[in-house]
Amino acid sequence: MIEPVDNLIRVLSKLPGLGRRSAERAALAIVRKPELLADPLMHALQDVRETIECCRVCGGLTLVGDQPCRLCSDETRRDDLLCVVEEPSDIFAIERAGIFRGKYHALLGKLSPARQRSPASLRLKELAQRISEGCVKEVILALSTDMEGDSTAAYIGEMLKSAEVRVTRLAYGLPADSGIGYSDPVTLKRAIKGRTKF
């Protein structure tokens, strides 16, 4: 393989959901039609890099300088209801379902010894800080239903045991070994409505 193409494949294969073969197909499509794919892709990546950042409150995505984000700033949303998710993409998925009117907290990952993701690498201190401010009455754990998601939920449940908040978890009904971002709006609505005490 030609080195620049091989480098492109290697970078693309680091993206979630793209294995080596998928990354190879994507890279070859980009190389074959640079004016249709490479140039717009480079511009889009540069634009995202220059204009998007994480909200300092929830960890979701926002425009640079738009702090806190529009969801955190929305006064019509409930301050007493906090939905904890793994990634900003999970916020998008729950928002598409159109049922949740509280605030969010993205951990930016989940506990995973295999990937060296410890509690210190997640936004758990920020979560504890938000809880200590006293507005939150219920924390909904909207985490993946895989082993790492379950471990993260158990860790947060233990961490919040002494806090005066109700800790719930989305009702099962989400596919096993799947993330929030892969769920359809109907499944998410049912999961949020049927959440259970954790």
Q: Which residue ranges make up each domain of the chain? A: 3-53, 54-197
> pLDDT at position 180, please?
80
| Burial label, 47 (beta-carbon count in 10 A; 0-12, 13-18, 19+) | exposed
Tokens of 148: 């790492």
> pLDDT at position 174, please?
65
Distance, in Å, from the CA atom of 10 to the CA atom of 8, rounded to the nearest integer, reads 5
Fold of 54-197: Dna Topoisomerase Vi A Subunit; Chain: A, domain 2 (3.40.1360)
Give average pLDDT by consecutive 10-residue segment, the chain, 198 residues. 90 91 95 92 96 97 96 97 97 94 97 85 96 94 91 95 92 71 79 77
Distance, in Å, from the CA atom of 194 to the CA atom of 103, rounded to the nearest integer, reads 18
> pLDDT at position 176, please?
66
Dihedrals phi, psi of 104, to nearest 5 degrees:
-120, 160
> pLDDT at position 198, please?
74
CATH class name, domain 3-53? mainly alpha
Q: Which of 85, 79, 58, 83 is nearest to 69 (CA)?
A: 58
